[in-house]
Amino acid sequence: MLGYFGPQGTFTHQALISIAPDAEAQAFPSVMLALDAVRSGETEASLVPIENSVEGGVTATLDNLAMGAPLTIVREVLLPVQFSLAVRAGTKTKDVRRVLTHPHAAAQCRTWVTRHLPHASVTEGGSTAAAAAEVADPDSQYDAAICARIAAELYGLTVAVDRIADNAKAVTRFVLVGPAGAPPARTGHDKTTVVAYMYKDRPGALLEILEQFAGRGVNLCRIESRPTKAALGDYCFSIDVDGHVADPRIREALKGLHRVCKKVVYLGSYERADGVVPSATRGFTDEDFYDADLWLENIDPTASTRSEEA
C-alpha cells in the first residue's frame, strides 16, 4: 500500500494517481504522518510534496526527511499546478466574498484574486481539498474554494473559473519516499539529495560545503538552509545535485562532505522526472575519474587498498 499527504482531491493525490493509478492508497493528514507510516511499515512508500517552482521548498517535508529516522527517496514526480475557483451550484463569481484555500495556493493566486475578486477575503486552511469539502457544505460560511479541479469534482462543486494561477508554468515536485536502503540503479539522468550539517557556524563554513561539489564538477539544482532546532542560528543545508551516488564525481563529493561536515544525511539517488541528462565538463566525466584512479595506482599500487580499508 502507498501513502500520500491527503486528503483525497489534493495535488499530491493527483500526482500519486499519475504514477500508480491502480495502487491501494492511504491518505494521511500531514506530511509527518505520511512519512512515519513508511518508517513503521504501515505503507511501502509515501508521496509527499517537496518543492514548488513559485513558493520554494516544502519545509514540513524537508525537516521530516532530515531529522527523523532514515528514509530513502526513490522517485520524483513533477505536476503542473493550475487552480480552479470552485463554488456551490448557483453561486456567481461576482457574489464571492469569502474564499478558503491552502497557503501555497493563496500565494500562487494572489494577483488573480486581487484583480477578479477585489471584495473577497481569503482564509488559509490545511489543504485545498479540505477547502473544497468545506465549501461543499450548504451551511458553510465560505463562498468558494481555490483548489484542484479533481477536488471540485470529488465534492460536487462547480468550477466557476479554471486555470486561475498567476504563473501558468507553476510546477510542484513530489517525492516518493521508501524505507532506508540502496538507491535505484542509475539511469544517466539522476538526482541525489543530501542534508549537510556544519560543525559550527563560522566564516567559510558554507563555502567549505559548496567547494566539495564545485571542485568535482557537480551541479547543485537546489540548496536550502533549515534550522536544526537545536539552537538559534544552528542550520543545516538540504541539497539536490545532478547525478547518482554511483557516479564517480558524486561519490567523491559525498566523501568530501563527510570529511568536512558534522553529519551528512544521504536521502537517495533517483531518476529525474524531467529526463534531463547532467553535463560533465572536461576533467569531471566518469572516464576522467577512472583514468585518474588508474594513474595513481600505477604510481602507488597500494593506494586503492588503503582507500578500501579506510
pLDDT of residue 230: 83
Spell 262-296 as b/e; 16+ CB within 10 A means b: eebbbbbbbbbbeeeebebeeebbeebbeeeeeee
Q: Which residues contact 65 (CB under 8 A, 6 or more apart)?
A: 35, 50, 71, 73, 177, 193, 195, 238, 265, 267
pLDDT of residue 296: 87
Would you call 81 helix, strand, or coil by DSSP? coil
SS (H, E, C) 209-276: HHHHHHCCCCCEEEEEEEECCCCCCCEEEEEEEECCCCCHHHHHHHHHHHHHCCEEEEEEEEECCCCC
By DSSP bridging, strand 45-52 and strand 2-5 are parallel
pLDDT, average across residues 187-209: 91
Q: How many CB atoms lie within 10 A of CB 188?
A: 12
Entry pTM: 0.84
pLDDT, average across residues 102-126: 91
Q: What is the pLDDT of residues 152-187, one digit of tens each?
A: 999 999 999 999 988 888 899 999 999 999 999 999
Q: What is the pLDDT of residues 57-95, one digit of tens each?
A: 999 999 999 988 999 999 999 998 889 999 999 999 999
